[in-house]
Chains A and B, each alone.
Chain A
Amino acid sequence: MSQINRREFLKLVATASSAAVLTIPGTARAGAKGKVVVIGGGFGGATAAKYLRMMGGASVDVTLIEPNKTYTSCPLSNEVISGHREIKSLQVGYDGLKKHGVNVLHDTVTKVDPVKKTVTTQGGKTLAYDALVMSPGVEFNYAGVEGDSEELSNTVIPHAYKAGPQTLLLKKQLESMPDGGKFIIAVPPGPFRCPPGPYERASQVADYLTKKGKTKSKVILLDANDSFSKKGLFEQAWKNMFGYQAGGMLEWVPGASDGKVIKVDAKTMTAYTNFGEHKGDVLNIIPPHTAGKIAKDAGLTNAKGWCEVVPMTMESTVHKDIYPIGDACVAGEMPVYPMPKSAHMAMTQAKVAVGAILAKMNGQAAPVPFYVNTCYSTINPEYGFSVVHVYRVTDNKFVYVTDAGGVSPVTLGTKEAPQPVPPIQRKLEAEYCVGWFNNVMADAFA
């Protein structure tokens, strides 16, 4: 019997590992048994529920708890405001998940007991879980802007940052704005959901006003931050289309130039910054936000109000067997490459959590996680661009893969001799935006 030395041993292990990754079929999943409760029926929660059943089989009992019978997608809801899309096209019910065998409970979770591993609902139900997926989205902190309130946001100064009635209210306000009117968007301090959202909205609104001939109007972004997602791409489009930085329709006021809105008066329709005041015909005040209330109540949030997770599994760093996903979490190399709060990101996080939950039910190690984000923004149906993020997990840390990812090119050629991007690029990404949307809706809800 020959001895195996250390070097041979390591070589064999390495060979076994790579072979295993690519060829060895696993069979262990079939036996997975357990109860999973999913809180929240947005992109993250719906994907988790569907994939638990799809990959875990019939022996995984999945209950999704969501108060609303219809979900309205936030992605592409700016196109409702500008009139390029009906809100109905963003809506979906939960029949698709039921077909996968997910129990859908239209109720609100009032309490999570991470020790007894139960959740209690407003309707008086108590459900036990082996694993809990926490996908509650965000909660708006109206107190973050003095004078703002939930009631005012529903009636006079909508945030429209959760798609639904406020989206339609903001659309109506835009449509009735006179030529020469002022449309003000107040951007909260980051992190907030959909990082390019406010800037895409400003673009869509400016495009609407331009095409309606209301060219004397102004669209003003009052921003608590000093930079933003896809800045170079937005600014290029704004310069070409809306006279940006040339006294035209669209203006961006960064935090450093007193852009942060701290107070609002809905009666006089005035937004106040530290040193200035801005009267608007439309005030789109987006309040700062944090993880959804139930995540906070369950003790899952950090001092800043967000859930922190273990990169390999998406399990909470606070409570075992709870997996916070989607807009409610923070993860990544803060503050440089945090995972963006996007639908796409929430869905890949959901898939990682599902892999980890099923592996644990089978007494196995969590599979290698893959995190990917793709996020399209459009100025109008002919002009779009994107940002891509790919993350790896190394030494239990999220690592942004710098070889990949990044934004669509602003220009081609060299820095010294830039060449314009072929027009087909913007057209393709505008089309891909719609294709992406139809696919994520199907992947999460059908």
Chain B
Amino acid sequence: MRYRVILGVVLAGLLGSAHAEDSIEALANTCNNCHGVNGVSAGQSMPSIGGLPEAYLKNVMLEWKTGARYSATMGRLIKGYSDEQIAALAAFFSKKPWTPSAQTTDPKLVALGKKVSARCASCHGETGASSDGETPSLNGQWALYMELELKKYRDDAVAMPNKQMRKAAQKLSEEEVNAAAAFYASQKK
């Protein structure tokens, strides 16, 4: 009986406090430094993450944590987060709206990118607005970030786990990489 009363008090304390939800929000706030409030990045080399599929976000973070996926910086950060925290962050950011970033792109490069990216459409969608729940949206993602990612997929020296992406990226010339990035960056919907 005694424990029951205490339990009631403890539970009431836990449920009624701001502690609960704030933990995720407080955790997510640490991501804002580099990925922006609601996951909308203001830096061209850093991806926007708000509104990306939950499964994709979670998978990438877990792959960084185990080292299955190469990263220059993120792996060292994400090792400080538990799998539960990673899952909570993925859920948190996936529920934010996807916000394409306005950016200047070279129309010639965009035109070439439209052709080059035909091979990407089956997974990423024609304009990069993917809807399969696992593939990241690319429409209005930062061009520079996408260039750098494609170069990681092309580079044999670093471990990138998605075979399909590696194969596709390795078929692209330097100019085609930049073109594909410019094309998706220019898509607003």
A contact residues vs B (CB 8 Å cutoff)? 1, 3-6, 8-9, 12-13, 16-18, 20-26, 28-29, 51, 54-55, 344, 347-348, 351-352, 355, 358-359, 362, 364-370, 372, 374, 386, 388, 390, 392, 401, 403-406, 408, 422, 424-425, 428-429, 431-432, 434-443, 446
Contacts and interface: CB of A to CB of B under 8 A. Distances in A.
Please indicate which of the listed interface residues A374, A388, A390, A435 has the most CB atoms of chain B within 10 Å of its own CB. Answer: A435
Nearest to A17: B14
Interface stretch (B54-62, B121-129, B147-155, B161-169): B147-155
Please indicate which of the listed interface residues A5, A352, A374, A392 has the most CB atoms of chain B within 10 Å of its own CB. Answer: A374
A429 B15 contact: no
B33 A435 contact: no
Given A16-B15, A436-B34, 18 more contacts: A3-B1, A3-B4, A25-B20, A25-B21, A29-B18, A351-B30, A358-B18, A368-B26, A374-B73, A401-B80, A403-B79, A405-B79, A428-B72, A432-B45, A432-B72, A439-B36, A439-B42, A443-B42
A443 B44 contact: no
B67 to A, nearest CB: 12
A442 B77 CA distance: 21
Chain B interface category by residue count:
35 or more
Interface of B: 1, 3-4, 6-7, 10-11, 13-27, 29-30, 32-37, 41-46, 72-73, 76-81, 84, 87-88, 144-145, 148, 151-152, 155, 157-158
B76 A439 contact: no
Contact of A408 (B37, B72, B152): B72
A118 B42 CA distance: 37
24 contacts: A9-B3, A16-B11, A17-B14, A20-B15, A21-B20, A26-B20, A54-B37, A352-B26, A364-B18, A367-B19, A372-B77, A386-B72, A388-B77, A390-B79, A390-B81, A404-B79, A428-B72, A428-B152, A432-B45, A434-B44, A434-B45, A435-B45, A439-B36, A442-B43
Please indicate which of the listed interface residues B15, B22, B79 has the most CB atoms of chain A within 10 Å of its own CB. Answer: B22
A217 to B, nearest CB: 32
Contacts of B16: 28
Q: Is the interface of B mostly helix, strand, loop or mixed?
A: helix
B23 A368 contact: yes
B11 A364 contact: no
Given A374-B33, A436-B34, A438-B42, A26 B19 contact: yes
Contacts, number: 196
B76 A405 contact: yes
A404 B158 CA distance: 20
Q: Is the interface of A mostly helix, strand, loop or mixed?
A: helix
A26 B17 contact: yes
A370 B34 CA distance: 15
B73 A55 contact: no
Nearest to B84: A22
B120 to A, nearest CB: 21
Contacts of B1: 1, 3
